[in-house]
Structure 1
Amino acid sequence: MTTHTRTLTGPDLDGVATWFKSSYSSGSGNNCVEVADLTHTAHRAVAIRDSKDPDGPIMLVAPERFAALVEGVRDGRLTA
């Protein structure tokens, strides 16, 4: 995974990332999360951002860590 010395924001990934909104995001504008698969790029990561702030900060997560996060949420080990 690429190491950054500054915070990545939405515009940094324009043209690179295709964002997908979580199926659990409500239509009310609360708790919306978007992810982008950047494993095929130099970043080699999954990007996560707040869909209400698309130009805001982005967190890059190693693919295996993201998979563990999703698995933990699905099986109930991780909750809000």
Structure 2
Amino acid sequence: MSWEDDALCRTVSPDEFFPELGGSASYARQVCELCAVTSSCLAYALRRGEKWGVWGGTTPQERMAMPGWRDS
């Protein structure tokens, strides 16, 4: 069992976590605020250098500014 099995986003359309350019990430962030595995999700995204979508309640721009983000 991994953190992904407990992720609340599994119950929501993936489209909510990958808004179009200029679209809102607010609904995805609300889901992340209620999720028990947000820290693990964010760590995963930072390790992988995720350039798209909302991960751990953060946007790509926010992650790129964080220590630990790597450009893959």
Question: What is the TM-score with the length of structure 1 in the denominator?
Answer: 0.25
Q: Which is higher, the Rg of structure 1 or of structure 2?
A: 1
Question: What is the TM-score with the length of structure 2 in the denominator?
Answer: 0.27
More strand by share: 1
